[in-house]
Amino acid sequence: MDLVVGIESRGFILGAAVADRLGAGFAPIRKPGKLPAKAFRESFNLEYGSDALEMHEDAIRAGQRVLIVDDVLATGGTAAAAASLARRCRGELLGLAFLIELVALNGRAKLPNESIYTVLKY
């Protein structure tokens, strides 16, 4: 693992800790307009509207092995957008890790063929 990507904002806390334990770098994915340099944007739908995420265009070097970390996998829209951003930055996405998965919301359906790890399932 070369790089852990944390999704705003609780993913920053969990992702930074994971990156430290793995001896990997860390990169943030943030809500629009919060990053200081040129960024890719990925829009996605939520059950109650739409949103977007951004990642610096140079956050991932081509071929870096990436793990995305966040607190909750719910409907999967945020996670799918994060995965798309990691790939647009030319990273090799190895998987996504979450503290909690809300199984009834079927977020995995938006992440076909992704390696997903969750600590707790409700």
Catalytic residue, from 8, 10, 41, 65: name it. 10
| Residue 94 CB partners (closer than 8 Å, separation 6+) | 1, 65, 66, 67, 115
Half-sphere exposure of 19 (CA within 13 A, CB side): 22
61 flagged as catalytic = no
87 flagged as catalytic = no
Please give the DSSP secondary-structure letter assigned to residue 112.
Answer: T
Q: Which residues are catalytic?
A: 10, 47
